[in-house]
Structure 1
């Protein structure tokens, strides 16, 4: 069976609080692309001991600032997701060369890498982060501000046991709203929440 993530908009929650400006922050996630199997088949079932190898890399825009801090937030967020999630019994986290680097990994190379990894993983998740940071939008009146934080990433999932692709999609995670201004302190948690929404959307 084939499932499609075509600009699917999911409102996952509502969080109101006192930030730099008083506002109410909502979380929404947009998906595009498709998967070859249900996302629920990525995670382990009761009694299962499914393991995961998460390979991450970045594809920043040319003018991206504070790259080192953002990449530290990526690692912290991925570790938080993998540690707290009940999706996998065990996991490994490794970095791949960035997509702007000359040496790239093809899908076949990733599968070979995954099948040769020790300990062997059941699922391989490749995460390419394109955006991670605060956003602020000013409307016609400077008094009207909409802000928050966002995570944009491409996600590919492989079944390492059968050497077959399971999913290849893009996701845009946002948390913010009118009169909301957020800094960088929440970025590790934002990355963790974005992964949770991508891997376990239901």
Structure 2
């Protein structure tokens, strides 16, 4: 019986908190014509962030994974912005995304603020761990005047007696994007 209780306590769960102005519906409709999309992304790490290049590589793999599994987005480009340029205005992003040959239907900005494992040791929980992703996402429609979304998502997977390293960070990033951009749908 004790082994069963210990196993149940070690189960990981996922929690998603979104603040700001999230999407009212998924960024695109699964099964519909794919929307021409340009993606910009960049980091905004805290000053004591460990291993930024490794986390940035995991973030990019997660972004690529999400976009490859989202068939209703036709991605025209994924562009990394330097940290100092990651907070561009909507107008700047639209200008960067549009050219005589490129007229996107959606422009996405993804700012990665946290991507990593966490571990808490102490009272009342002996060990609680997992991974977390903190992203800011803006979704722009070139035909509209206001962003479709300007939200912050805090995605966390873990639990009591769960210890995770960095191996799942790209999958965690992809899952956080699914929760933010395809709420209630997932990706297909």
CA distance in 1, matches of 2:101, 2:116: 33
Stretches of structure 2 lacking an aligned partner (at least 5 in a row): 1-8
Q: Which residue of 2 aligns with 1:32?
A: 19
**Structure 1 residues 130-152: Cα deviation after superposition (integer angstroms, max 9, x where no partner):** 000000011226x8100000000
CA 146–33 in structure 1, closer or farther in 2 if over 3 Å, else same: same
Q: Which residue of 2 aligns with 1:78?
A: 63
Q: Which residue of 2 aligns with 1:120?
A: 103
CA contact (8 A) 1:97 1:104 kept: no
The alignment covers a number of residue pairs equal to 176
**Structure 1 residues 56-82: Cα deviation after superposition (integer angstroms, max 9, x where no partner):** 011100011100100000111111110
CA distance in 2, matches of 1:49, 1:102: 28
**Structure 1 residues 11-64: Cα deviation after superposition (integer angstroms, max 9, x where no partner):** xxxxxxxxxxx82110110010114x6232x21464423121111011100011
Stretches of structure 1 lacking an aligned partner (at least 5 in a row): 1-21
CA 166–181 in structure 1, closer or farther in 2 if over 3 Å, else same: same
CA 182–117 in structure 1, closer or farther in 2 if over 3 Å, else same: farther
The TM-score normalised by the length of structure 2 is 0.85
Higher helix proportion (structure 1 or 2): 2
Partner SS, residue 95 of structure 2: helix
Counterpart selection for 2:94 from 111, 130, 136: 111
Instruction: State the 1:89 CA deviation.
Output: 3.4
